Amino acid sequence: MKADPHGVLTGTHFIDGDHACCEGALAAGARFAAGYPITPSTEVVERFAARVPTVGGTFIQMEDELAASITLQGAVWGGAKAFTVTSGPGFSLMMEHIGYAAMTETPCVFVDVQRGGPSTGLPTLPAQADMMQARWGSHGDYEIIALCPNSPQECFDLTIKAFNLAEEFRVPVMFMMDEVVGHMTEKVVIPPADQIEVVPRKHTRKSVEDYLPYGSNGDMVPEMAHAGEGYKFHVTGLTHDERGYPNMTPQTQDKLVRRLQNKIRAAVDRICLFEEDGIDSADVVVVSYGITSRVAQRAVQMARERGLKVGKLRLITAWPFPDQKIAEIASKVKALVVPELNLGQMVREVERAAQGKAKTIALPHAGGGVHNPDQILNAIVEAIRC
């Protein structure tokens, strides 16, 4: 369906990534946010707090991130599209509720504007060091989706995508920004509402008698009902059967947890977005995401100016990881160079997916700034020489 025009600020804007993310959420139909202030993410909810009363919806500043990350889920079951926004320390506090959202199949979006860590780390400076936490931070086996924008325009476009994926798969989606993308100001074009595709909630049309809250319906994504509609359903973080009733058997656990995993894995091709350039003729491919892809772009350009055959793969979807795409590329090139603002996170995934078919070269950075394009260029030159 098309976006609700009330939430869409159609026009050309000069805004930062945080504000663009807020506009994306409003365009996607988010009418509820719960937040707790934390640098460098707060601007998202500050804008939401200013905008939402004129659009129809609610913002509440909660007492902590534990509260924010579950308040938004209450709102989802009350019928809203909802999200929260945070950065590293707050993201750590939200982990239990990412697991709850995965287990209860609550469609929602967690925005993490990444900063340097661990702990309080570098509140005002960038990092990409929450990537593994986004995937594995909550206990138990589950799947999530994570997207990585690299510009304010993408903060708008991909926030809509994040909400759409959350609804389609009934899964929490991690929106993995970073301080630079969040605070960089660029042109953002917001199209008219009738050009924005929005995925509605997968709401059941079944009668109260026929409705099975966690029935898998063939496509593994159950239909949802909201509180107050007469379905009298039960939702629990305990292992549950198709009725939503707790059931503590290995059989129910196996069936449920595998479905939670398979509903995402079966759709990897559709969920995995990437941008590629010059891969077919490349000797070396730079694999990057988020702000680092902007720096990598410059390095690839410089390498090509020197006559080197360099390709670029930008991961827009980080999770689920595009194993097959990496394997394909690895079988064609000598090496994969992976710059990222952490001491080695997604590079391990690249290395695993490459299955030894190409050399994987890590280009770690502890955060607090971005790579110098020369560092990436040097790595490319070295990789080609090897």
Partner 1 sequence: MLNIDDTVNPVEPFLRSDRMPHIWCPGCGIGTTVNSFARALIDSKIDLESLALVSGIGCTGRVAGYVKLDSFHTTHGRAIPFATGLKLANPKLNVVVYSGDGDLSAIGGNHLIHAARRNIDLKVICVNNLIYAMTGGQTAPTTPGHATTSTNPYGTFEPAFNLPHLVEAAGAVYVARWTTFHVRQLARSISEAFQKKGFSFIEVISPCPTLYQRRNKMGDGLDTMKYYKEKSKVKHGTPTSEVGLTLNGEIAVGKFVDRDRPDYQSMMRAQYVESLGERYIEEPEVECVCG
| Interaction site with partner 1 (CB under 8 A) | 4-7, 29, 31-32, 34, 53-58, 60, 62-64, 66-68, 70-82, 96-97, 100, 167, 198, 200-205, 223, 226-238, 245-246
Among all chains, which residue has been given the structure tokens 């129809």?
Answer: 56
Q: Which two tokens stand for residue 101?
A: 């959202």
State the minimum distance, in angstroms, from the CB of residue 33 to partner 1. 10
**Cβ closer to partner 1: 76 or 296?**
76
**Cβ closer to partner 1: 11 or 56?**
56
**Cβ closer to partner 1: 32 or 321?**
32
Single out the residue of 311, 314, 319 nearest to residue 272, CA to CA.
319
CA–CA dist 172, 70 (Å, integer): 12
State the minimum distance, in angstroms, from the CB of residue 165 to partner 1. 15
State the minimum distance, in angstroms, from the CB of residue 57 to partner 1. 6
Q: Which two tokens stand for residue 131?
A: 């990537």
**Cβ closer to partner 1: 217 or 355?**
217
Q: Confirm if 82 and 76 have CB atoms less than 8 A apart.
A: yes
Chain-centroid distance of CA 14 in Å reads 24
- β-pairing, 108-116 vs 172-178, is parallel
State the minimum distance, in angstroms, from the CB of residue 207 to partner 1. 14
State the minimum distance, in angstroms, from the CB of residue 72 to partner 1. 6
**Cβ closer to partner 1: 39 or 61?**
61
Q: Which two tokens stand for residue 115?
A: 């900063």
State the minimum distance, in angstroms, from the CB of residue 209 to partner 1. 14
Q: Confirm if 261 and 141 have CB atoms less than 8 A apart.
A: yes
How many residues does the structure list for the chain?
A: 386
9 contact partners, CB below 8 Å, separation of at least 6: 23, 26, 27, 190
Q: Which two tokens stand for residue 197?
A: 């595709």
**Cβ closer to partner 1: 214 or 289?**
214
Q: Which two tokens stand for residue 26?
A: 């409003």
**Cβ closer to partner 1: 55 or 257?**
55
Query: Which segments of 49-126 are extended strands (E)?
Result: 58-61, 81-86, 108-116, 122-126
**Cβ closer to partner 1: 196 or 287?**
196
Cβ–Cβ contacts within 10 Å for residue 294, how many? 18
State the minimum distance, in angstroms, from the CB of residue 62 to partner 1. 6
Q: Which two tokens stand for residue 208?
A: 């109260």
CA–CA dist 79, 82 (Å, integer): 9
CA–CA dist 339, 370 (Å, integer): 10
State the minimum distance, in angstroms, from the CB of residue 222 to partner 1. 12
